[in-house]
Amino acid sequence: MAWDTEGTKRRLLDAATVEFAQHGFAGGRVDRIAAAAGVNKERIYQYFGKKGELFDAVLVSELRRVMDEVPLRGEGPRAVADYAGRLFDHHVDDPTVPRLVTWEGLERGRDTVARAERLEHHTSKVAALMRMLPGVDSAGAAELLLTIVTLCDSWPVLPQVDEFLSGRVEGRRAERRASIVGTVELLARELSAESARR
């Protein structure tokens, strides 16, 4: 019987995604990943190399998945606000990417993984936002995207801050989503107006 290499890689990637999202790069353990995937840990080294390269593969895979599942579409400030709302929903329902990029930032700082591929990923997102807001330059689009990502990534990984500030634990999702969507729409409108004045 032939070995299912692609299936094994997928199981390892899935197990590593859960492990790294829960424990980060430093706390993630190769033996737990292998056990969860039901394979010998030597397969990790064979298919992905070192633990750092496995973390890289996980992060790139997850970022690509989110980009596919939450596309930038439409035109105008409302479309940008809609994107922020959909990204927020995605990250609240599945906080894997916010957790992974938070771990990456804490443990690696600016020493990011898969730099060339991720730069291409982010450049395409900036270009898509520029198409959504005609006339806005790349610097303005990048700044707005950074604001959206920061707003949408933080709430799923910082629930304690929300609790301290709002004084509530339950029933905040719709309220927080509305606040993010409204803020992003205002920022997008101002950015469009500013570019029209130039």
Q: pLDDT class for 192, splitting at 50, 70, 90? A: very high
Query: Which CATH number characterizes residue 161's domain?
Result: 1.10.357.10
Residue 158 counted as domain residue: yes
Q: Which domain holds residue 120?
A: 56-197
- 189 vs 165, higher pLDDT: 189
Residue 193 counted as domain residue: yes
pLDDT exceeds cutoff 70 at 109: yes
C-alpha pair distances (Å), 24 with each of 38, 53, 105, 148: 21, 14, 10, 23
Residue 71 counted as domain residue: yes
Residue 13 counted as domain residue: no
Query: Residue 103 in contact with residue 45, Cβ under 8 Å?
Result: no
Residue 122 counted as domain residue: yes
pLDDT per position as a tens digit, 54-85:
998 999 899 889 989 999 999 999 999 999 99
Residue 148 counted as domain residue: yes
pLDDT per position as a tens digit, 19-60:
999 999 999 999 999 999 999 888 889 999 889 889 989 998
State the Cα–Cα distance between residues 49 and 64, nearest whole angstrom: 21
Query: Residue 184 in contact with residue 81, Cβ under 8 Å?
Result: yes
CB atoms within 10 A of CB 26: 12
- Tally of domains within the chain: 1
Residue 168 counted as domain residue: yes
Residue 7 counted as domain residue: no
User: What's this model's pTM, rounded to 2 decimal places?
Assistant: 0.90
